[in-house]
């Protein structure tokens, strides 16, 4: 089973990464080998709205997004972990999402059928505060993104009230939730 984990936070060793790694521990405890990518360490721009994908549904911008398209295309399950930034998602995550405009074009304008089965999507969010509207907003954006890439959001949870780096280590319930989320992923594959 191909499981791709995406770290949306630029802060290595921060709250999102700790929870993402916990979820991956859960996955690995079942003998699976997930792959992890760190968006902030890749080089890609946001969508240029150049129209280069209009006729093919393929992005013509040659940067690290080409690798992300391939990995996400091949993945059967996707786990995204991200902090809330300004009530939404960090620029790194939003830039990746916007670059899926080519896939939106392929799907809804060119009506290209994707024969691949629906992927399973999982989301972990963290934030300093606890505003439910921020989580809802971020989750709604991710749900849309997942729909475009052909994934259904199966599970998500938010860990509020974590600001300082690694503060989430003081929230054992969040660590446990992340581990359990990871362990549950294979159950979605009959």
Ligand X SMILES: Cc1cc2nc3c(=O)[nH]c(=O)nc-3n(C[C@H](O)[C@H](O)[C@H](O)COP(=O)(O)O)c2cc1C
Shortest spacing between CB 159 and ligand X, in angstroms: 8
* Binder among 163, 170, 176, 189 for ligand X (CB under 6 A): 163
H helices, E strands: number in the chain: 6, 5
Those residues with Cβ within 8 angstroms of residue 153's Cβ, 6 or more apart along the chain or in another chain: 121, 122, 123, 139, 142, 143, 146
- Residue 129 touching ligand X (CB under 6 A): yes
Comparing CA positions, the residue from 171, 143, 145, 139 lying closest to residue 157 is 139
DSSP string, 47-110: P----TTTTTS-----STHHHHHHHHHH-SEEEEEEE-BTTB--HHHHHHHHTTHHHHIIIIIS
Nearest 5°: phi and psi at 156? -150, 150
For residue 41, state whether it binds ligand X (rule: CB under 6 A).
no
For residues 123, 126, 132, 134, the Cα torsion angle rounded to the nearest 10 degrees is -80
Q: Which of 89, 93, 124, 126 binds ligand X (CB under 6 A)?
A: 126
Contact string 78-117 vs ligand X (x = CB under 6 A): -----xxxxx------------------------------
Nearer to ligand X, 49 or 86 (CB): 86
Give the x-and-dash track for 10-29 against ligand X (CB under 6 A).
-x--xxx-------------
Calpha distance 40→188 (Å, rounded) = 29
Tokens of 41: 């360490």
Nearest approach, Cβ of residue 168 and ligand X (Å): 7
Whose CB is nearest to ligand X? Answer: 14
User: In this complex, which beta carbon is closest to ligand X, that of residue 56 or of residue 140?
Assistant: 140
**Span of 6-14, 38-46, 61-69, 109-117 interacting with ligand X by CB under 6 A:** 6-14
CB of 178 to ligand X, least distance (A): 12
- Residue ranges that bind ligand X, judged by CB under 6 A: 9, 11, 14-16, 83-87, 126-129, 134, 162-163, 165
């Amino acid at each position: 089973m191909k499981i791709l984990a995406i770290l949306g936070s630029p802060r290595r060793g921060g709250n999102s990464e700790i929870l993402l790694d916990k979820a991956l521990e859960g996955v690995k405890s079942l003998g699976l080998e997930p792959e992890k990518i760190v968006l902030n360490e890749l080089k890609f721009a946001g969508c240029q709205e150049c129209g280069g994908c209009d006729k093919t549904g393929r992005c013509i911008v040659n940067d690290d997004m080409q690798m992300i398209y391939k990995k996400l295309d091949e993945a059967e399950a996707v786990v995204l972990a991200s902090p809330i930034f300004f009530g939404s998602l960090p620029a790194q995550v939003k830039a990746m999402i916007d670059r899926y405009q080519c896939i939106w074009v392929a799907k809804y304008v060119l009506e290209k059928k994707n024969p691949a089965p629906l992927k399973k999507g999982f989301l972990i969010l963290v934030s300093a505060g606890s505003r439910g509207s921020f989580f809802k907003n971020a989750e709604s954006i991710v749900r849309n993104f997942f729909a475009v890439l052909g994934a259904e959001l199966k599970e998500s949870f938010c860990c509020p009230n974590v600001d300082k780096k690694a503060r989430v280590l003081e929230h054992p319930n969040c660590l446990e939730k992340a581990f359990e989320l990871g362990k549950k992923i294979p159950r979605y594959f009959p």
